Amino acid sequence: MKAFLIEDEAMARNMLARTITEHFPDIEIAGTAGTVREAVEWLKTGRPDITFMDVELSDGKSFEILKKTQIPGHIIMTTAYDNYAVKAFETGCIDYLLKPIELPALQRAVERCRMSAATSTNVDRLIAALSGQTAAPAWKERYLVHFNDHIVPVKTADVVCFYSEAKDNHVLTRDGICYVIDASLDGIAAELDPEVFFRISRSCIIAKESVESVTKLLGGRLQVNARDVDLRRFSGLDLTVSRARTDDFLAWLEK
């Protein structure tokens, strides 16, 4: 069987490819793509038996691929958001995998592909259901980060804040662990629920649940006092709310 991986996060794409190679010797990774454009171009000549397709890509939703070209064989949806699951199953999609993808779930999905009597996913029904998605925006629920030789999934529900120091961006969790994260703060801010996270300055995004109190400083600025962790351990972390954002920050805290 030949597999085609459509995933815009290189780390997640490489992890999925490695897992398939290690545990499914009869499946060949025939190709990968990180954007709608790359996927459409590959599918001009490629004919996969299974396509692992992320919902959200850097240049658009993956449903645009289905509208521009044909995907033979079975489609397995992969995403960090769970609001697509019901529609994916209702439209005859073989399976839906929530990232980070765990081996038992992957084994189940592959087995369904092997056992399915259908020769391909009902693409028309998939496009109609998923492109008409009217649910609330699907905010990021987890990030994959490097920690020594490991790749660790960090849930946004466990995050105290994201911040930048020198040339690196970090995510600090409630259990007091700080990880380096590849994503930019601009990109992270666009992916998070604005009801839950607030960018208090250019260098810091904080979770509402981690705000214990706020101290007024001279010049109209505010200092956030966080619960859960001892911030004195992180010398590069500044939880000062910029003067231009104080009113919006206080309004956000009241919601």
Tell me the domain boundaries of the chain.
2-130, 142-254
Q: What is the pLDDT confidence band of residue 203, given thresholds at 50, 70 and 90?
A: very high
With 70 as the cut, is the pLDDT of residue 84 above it? Answer: no
Locate 48 and state its tokens: 């996969």
Q: What is the C-alpha to C-alpha distance for residues 157 and 125, in angstroms, rounded to an integer?
A: 33
Within 141-226, where are the H helices? 185-191
What pLDDT sits at residue 39? 95
Locate 51 and state its tokens: 């396509």
- CATH second-level architecture of 2-130? 3-Layer(aba) Sandwich (3.40)
Write out pLDDT tens, residues 51-70. 999 888 888 888 889 888 88
Which range (1-10, 11-20, 101-110, 124-133) has the least confidence? 124-133
Q: Is residue 106 within 8 Å of 97, Cβ to Cβ?
A: yes
Write out pLDDT tens, residues 11-41. 889 999 999 999 999 999 999 999 999 999 9
| φ and ψ at residue 202, rounded to 5 degrees | -65, -20
Write out pLDDT tens, residues 123-134. 666 666 555 544
Q: What is the pLDDT confidence band of residue 90, given thresholds at 50, 70 and 90?
A: very low
| Helix, strand, coil share (%) of the chain residues, nearest 5 | 35, 30, 35
Q: Percent of the chain beyond pLDDT 90?
A: 45
pTM across the whole model: 0.50
Among candidate residues 210, 203, 199, the one with its CA nearest the CA of residue 159: 210
34 Ramachandran zone, left/alpha/beta (phi>0; psi -120 to 50): alpha
More confident residue, 55 or 85: 55
Write out pLDDT tens, residues 114-157. 876 555 566 666 666 555 544 445 688 899 998 888 889 999 99
Which range (42-56, 59-73, 234-248) has the least confidence? 59-73
What is the average pLDDT across 84-91? 49
* Residue where the block lists tokens 């911030």: 231
Among candidate residues 6, 5, 112, 116, the one with its CA nearest the CA of residue 57: 6
Locate 211 and state its tokens: 């705000």
Quickly name the fold that domain 142-254 has: OB fold (Dihydrolipoamide Acetyltransferase, E2P) (2.40.50)
What is the average pLDDT across 244-252? 92
More confident residue, 117 or 248: 248
